[in-house]
Amino acid sequence: MIDVQIRDDMIRLGQFLKLANVLETGGEGKDLIAYGEVTVNGEVDRRRGRQLHRGDVVHTLGQTFRVA
């Protein structure tokens, strides 16, 4: 599991994927999320604007990240 530090109390899922260097563009994130390739805390989430908070766990493309 890779911890990814955020500055504020919350970050949106699409922004988090870019911050974690999972993808290079927002368009890639939009597709990844829309196709159900991203889970948040073990559940598929198709909302790019999903709010993430410290402790949330995101899994995609064989990698697991924790919001820290």
Q: What are the tens digits of pLDDT across the range 4-61?
A: 999 999 999 999 999 999 887 778 888 999 999 999 999 999 998 999 999 999 999 9
Q: Which pLDDT score, from 0 to 100, does residue 28 have?
A: 85
Closest by CA to 11, choosing from 20, 1, 2, 24, is: 20
CATH number for the domain running over 2-67 = 3.10.290.10
How do the domains of the chain map onto residue ranges? 2-67
| pTM summary value | 0.90
Q: Which pLDDT score, from 0 to 100, does residue 25 have?
A: 74
Spell out where the chain has E strands: 2-4, 10-12, 38-40, 43-44, 51-53, 57-60, 63-67
